[in-house]
C-alpha cells in the first residue's frame, strides 16, 4: 500500500480502523495497522476516539507499539498510559530507547511518571532516574518508588488490606503515605496509627497533615539534614507540584554518608576519590589517583627551597637560624590543618553558615594570637637556652606568633571560600595546608629575622 502520509490517507485509515473495531476483526486490524510506518499509525490513532485508540494500540506488535508511542503527542501518550495495563506499559517502556523514555518521563505529570517508575525493573529504573535530569548528587538519584500509598477516603479496614497486599514489595511499611487522586502527597502516617485505629473509620480521621518532604532535585545533603533533624526512617520525595515520586530510606542515607565520609578522608590525604573500594581498585587506578596531587605538592615544595635560597645571606651570617626551620614550618602546617578540620566539619554538619564568616575571622584571630603567644613564648625560651643568642630567640618567638596567626586564618577561611565558590572544602587537605604554610612560614620567619639582624 502506498503511504503518502497525507490527510486523506490518515482519515481513510482511521475509518478503516473504526470499521474493523466494530466488526471485532482483531487479526485484520493488526495486519492493517502493521502495513503503515510508525508516523502514519500515530496520525491514524490520533484521529480515533480514545477507547478505539487504546484497543488499536494494544494490538500492535511490541516493537512497533514502542515506535508508534514515540511519535504521539503528549496528550495522546497520557491517554494511553492512563488506560493501558501494567504489562503492556512495561513492554512499551522497555522497547523505547533510553533517551526517548527519559523525554517521556520528563513531559508527563508527576503521578504518571511515578506510575511508570513503579513498573520498571530495578536496572531500568536506576537508568531512568539517572537520565531524568536529576543531578548526580540529588535526592532523585536515591529515591525508590517502592512504598505504600493510601487514599484518604478509604476505611482503615480497606487500608490494612491494601498494606497486606502491596507492603511485601515496599521498601518499608513503617510509614505509609496518603495521596489524592492526582497523587499529591497529603500526609505520612506511622503504621502503628493505622493498626490501632477502628476498622470502620476513614484514613482521613487519623491524618494530622504534618509531614516533611524533600524535592527530587534537592541535594542529598538536604535529605540527610531533614532525616537527622526530624528523626525520620523514611523521607517522601516530591516534584515541584507536590506529587509523590518516591521515598528515601535511612539505609540509603547511611550509604551516602559512608560514601561522602570516604571521599572526604581520601581528599584530606590529597588523593583523588577512588570511586570504588580499595580492594577493587587496580594498581594503575591507585597510581593515577595519587600521582597528580603528589606531583603538584612536590612542585610546590620547590618554592620552599627558593625562599631559603633567597635568604642565603642572612643564613650565612647567623647559621643558627637554619636549626629552627623544621619546627616553624611544622607548627604552621599543624595549626592550619587543625583550623581547617574544625571549620570543614562545622560546615558539613550545618553548624556553620557562610554568613557567619566574619565571626569566624574574629574568633580564629583571637585563638591564633593566644596559640601563637603560648607557642612563641616556649620556643623563645627554648631557643635562648639552646643557642644563647637573644636575636635568634626574638626572631623565632615573633615568627611563631605571626605564623600561627596566619595559619589559623588561612585554615579557617579557605574552606569558607571554597564553599562559597561551590567547591568541596575537603580539598583543603592536610598536605595542601602544610605546603602553603611551608612557603609562607619561611617568608615570615626570614622577613622577621632580616629586620632584627639588620
CATH numbers and ranges of domains, the chain: 7-138 (1.25.60.10), 149-259 (3.10.580.10), 284-453 (1.10.357.20)
Overall average pLDDT of the 394-405 stretch: 92
pLDDT tier at 143, thresholds 50, 70, 90 = confident
For residues 207 and 38, which has the higher predicted lDDT (pLDDT)?
Answer: 207
User: Comparing 70-74, 154-158, 196-200, 220-224, which segment has the lowest mean pLDDT?
Assistant: 70-74
Report the b/e string of 237-258 with b at 16+ CB within 10 A.
Answer: bbbeebbbbbbbbbebbeebee
Q: Long-range contacts of range 309-315, CB-CB < 8 Å, 24 or more positions apart?
A: 310/446, 311/442, 311/446, 311/449, 311/450, 314/446, 314/449, 314/450, 314/453
pLDDT tens, 46-86?
888 888 887 788 778 877 877 887 788 777 877 777 776 65
Report the b/e string of 313-333 with b at 16+ CB within 10 A.
Answer: ebbeebebbeebbeebbebbb
* CB within 8 Å of 277: residues ≥ 6 apart: none
Residues 227 and 250: beta-carbon distance below 8 Å: yes
Overall average pLDDT of the 37-43 stretch: 87
Burial of 368 (0-12, 13-18, 19+ CB in 10 A): buried
In this model, does residue 278 exceed pLDDT 90?
Answer: no
Look at residue 270 in the predicted model and tell me its pLDDT: 64
DSSP string for 69-128: HHHS-HHHHHHHHHHS-HHHHHHHHHHS-HHHHHHHHHHS-HHHHHHHHHHS-HHHHHHH
Cell numbers of 184, please?
499529591
Look at residue 276 in the predicted model and tell me its pLDDT: 65
For residues 142 and 126, what is the distance between their CA atoms, to the nearest angstrom? 9
In this model, does residue 40 exceed pLDDT 80?
Answer: yes
In this model, does residue 427 exceed pLDDT 50?
Answer: yes
Mean pLDDT of the residues in the chain: 81
Residues 44 and 11: beta-carbon distance below 8 Å: no
Overall average pLDDT of the 13-28 stretch: 85
In this model, does residue 1 exceed pLDDT 50?
Answer: no
pLDDT tens, 331-388?
888 888 888 888 888 887 777 877 787 888 888 899 999 999 999 999 989 888 887 8
Look at residue 4 in the predicted model and tell me its pLDDT: 46
Could you give the percent of the chain with pLDDT greater than 70? 82
For residues 47 and 50, what is the distance between their CA atoms, to the nearest angstrom? 9
Q: What is the DSSP letter of 212?
A: -
For residues 10 and 107, which has the higher predicted lDDT (pLDDT)?
Answer: 10
For residues 431 and 72, which has the higher predicted lDDT (pLDDT)?
Answer: 72
Report the b/e string of 381-415 with b at 16+ CB within 10 A.
Answer: eebbeebeeeebbbbbbbbbbbbbbbbbbbbbbbb
pLDDT tier at 3, thresholds 50, 70, 90 = very low
CA 94 to chain centre: 27
- Could you give the residue ranges of the DSSP H alpha helices within 214-282? 220-230, 250-268
For residues 311 and 182, which has the higher predicted lDDT (pLDDT)?
Answer: 182
Among the listed residues 117, 396, 52, the one whose alpha carbon sits nearest the alpha carbon of residue 247:
117
Residues 245 and 216: beta-carbon distance below 8 Å: yes
Overall average pLDDT of the 223-234 stretch: 88
In this model, does residue 104 exceed pLDDT 70?
Answer: no
User: Comparing 191-195, 197-201, 237-241, 317-321, which segment has the lowest mean pLDDT?
Assistant: 317-321
| Positive/negative CA dihedral, 135, 139, 142, 147 | negative
For residues 393 and 384, what is the distance between their CA atoms, to the nearest angstrom? 5
Look at residue 187 in the predicted model and tell me its pLDDT: 95
Cα atoms in the 13 Å half-sphere on the side-chain side of 230: 16
User: Comparing 29-33, 98-102, 197-201, 205-209, which segment has the lowest mean pLDDT?
Assistant: 98-102
* CB within 8 Å of 133: residues ≥ 6 apart: 102, 106, 217
In this model, does residue 131 exceed pLDDT 60?
Answer: no
Look at residue 2 in the predicted model and tell me its pLDDT: 38
Overall average pLDDT of the 249-264 stretch: 77
Could you give the percent of the chain with pLDDT greater than 90? 19
Q: What are φ and ψ of residue 396, in 5° steps?
A: -65, -45
pLDDT tier at 281, thresholds 50, 70, 90 = confident
Look at residue 206 in the predicted model and tell me its pLDDT: 95
pLDDT tens, 149-179?
999 999 999 999 999 988 887 888 899 999 9
Amino acid at each position: 500500500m502506498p503511504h503518502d502520509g497525507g490527510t486523506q490517507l490518515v482519515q481513510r485509515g482511521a475509518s478503516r480502523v473504526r470499521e474493523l473495531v466494530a466488526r471485532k476483526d482483531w487479526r485484520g486490524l493488526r495486519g492493517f495497522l502493521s502495513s503503515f510506518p510508525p508516523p502514519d499509525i500515530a496520525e491514524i490513532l490520533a484521529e480515533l476516539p480514545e477507547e478505539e485508540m487504546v484497543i488499536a494500540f494494544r494490538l500492535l506488535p511490541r516493537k512497533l507499539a514502542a515506535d508508534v508511542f514515540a511519535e504521539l503527542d503528549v496528550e495522546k501518550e497520557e491517554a494511553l498510559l492512563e488506560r493501558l495495563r501494567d504489562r503492556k506499559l512495561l513492554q512499551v517502556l522497555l522497547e523505547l530507547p533510553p533517551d526517548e523514555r527519559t523525554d517521556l518521563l520528563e513531559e508527563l505529570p508527576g503521578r504518571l511518571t511515578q506510575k511508570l517508575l513503579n513498573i520498571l525493573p530495578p536496572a531500568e529504573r536506576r537508568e531512568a532516574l539517572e537520565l531524568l535530569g536529576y543531578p548526580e548528587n540529588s535526592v532523585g538519584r536515591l529515591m525508590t518508588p517502592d512504598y505504600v500509598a493510601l487514599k484518604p477516603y478509604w476505611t482503615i479496614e480497606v487500608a490494612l488490606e491494601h498494606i497486606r497486599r502491596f507492603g511485601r514489595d515496599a521498601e518499608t511499611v513503617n510509614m505509609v503515605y496518603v495521596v489524592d487522586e492526582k497523587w499529591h502527597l497529603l500526609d505520612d502516617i506511622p503504621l502503628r496509627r493505622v493498626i490501632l485505629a477502628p476498622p470502620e473509620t476513614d484514613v482521613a480521621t487519623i491524618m494530622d497533615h504534618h509531614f516533611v518532604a524533600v524535592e527530587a532535585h534537592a541535594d542529598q545533603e538536604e535529605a540527610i539534614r531533614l532525616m537527622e533533624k526530624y528523626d525520620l526512617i523514611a523521607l517522601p520525595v516530591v516534584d515541584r507540584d507536590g506529587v509523590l515520586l518516591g521515598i528515601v530510606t535511612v539505609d540509603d542515607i547511611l550509604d551516602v554518608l559512608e560514601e561522602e565520609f570516604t571521599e572526604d578522608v581520601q581528599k584530606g590525604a590529597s588523593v583523588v576519590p577512588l570511586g570504588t573500594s580499595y580492594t577493587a581498585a587496580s594498581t594503575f587506578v591507585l597510581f593515577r589517583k595519587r600521582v597528580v596531587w603528589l606531583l603538584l605538592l612536590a612542585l610546590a615544595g620547590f618554592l620552599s627551597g627558593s625562599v631559603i635560597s633567597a635568604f642565603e645571606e642572612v643564613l650565612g651570617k647567623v647559621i643558627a637560624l637554619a636549626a629552627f626551620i623544621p619546627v616553624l614550618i611544622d607548627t604552621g602546617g599543624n595549626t592550619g590543618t587543625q583550623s581547617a578540620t574544625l571549620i570543614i566539619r562545622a560546615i558539613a554538619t550545618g553548624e556553620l553558615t557562610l554568613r557567619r564568616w566574619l565571626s569566624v575571622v574574629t574568633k580564629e584571630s583571637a585563638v591564633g594570637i593566644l596559640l601563637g603567644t603560648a607557642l612563641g613564648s616556649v620556643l623563645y625560651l627554648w631557643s635562648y637556652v639552646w643557642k644563647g643568642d637573644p636575636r635568634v630567640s626574638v626572631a623565632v618567638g615573633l615568627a611563631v606568633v605571626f605564623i600561627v596567626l596566619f595559619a589559623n586564618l588561612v585554615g579557617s577561611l579557605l574552606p569558607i571560600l571554597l564553599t562559597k565558590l561551590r567547591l568541596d572544602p575537603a580539598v583543603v587537605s592536610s598536605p595542601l595546608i602544610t605546603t602553603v604554610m611551608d612557603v609562607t612560614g619561611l617568608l615570615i620567619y626570614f622577613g622577621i629575622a632580616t629586620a632584627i639582624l639588620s
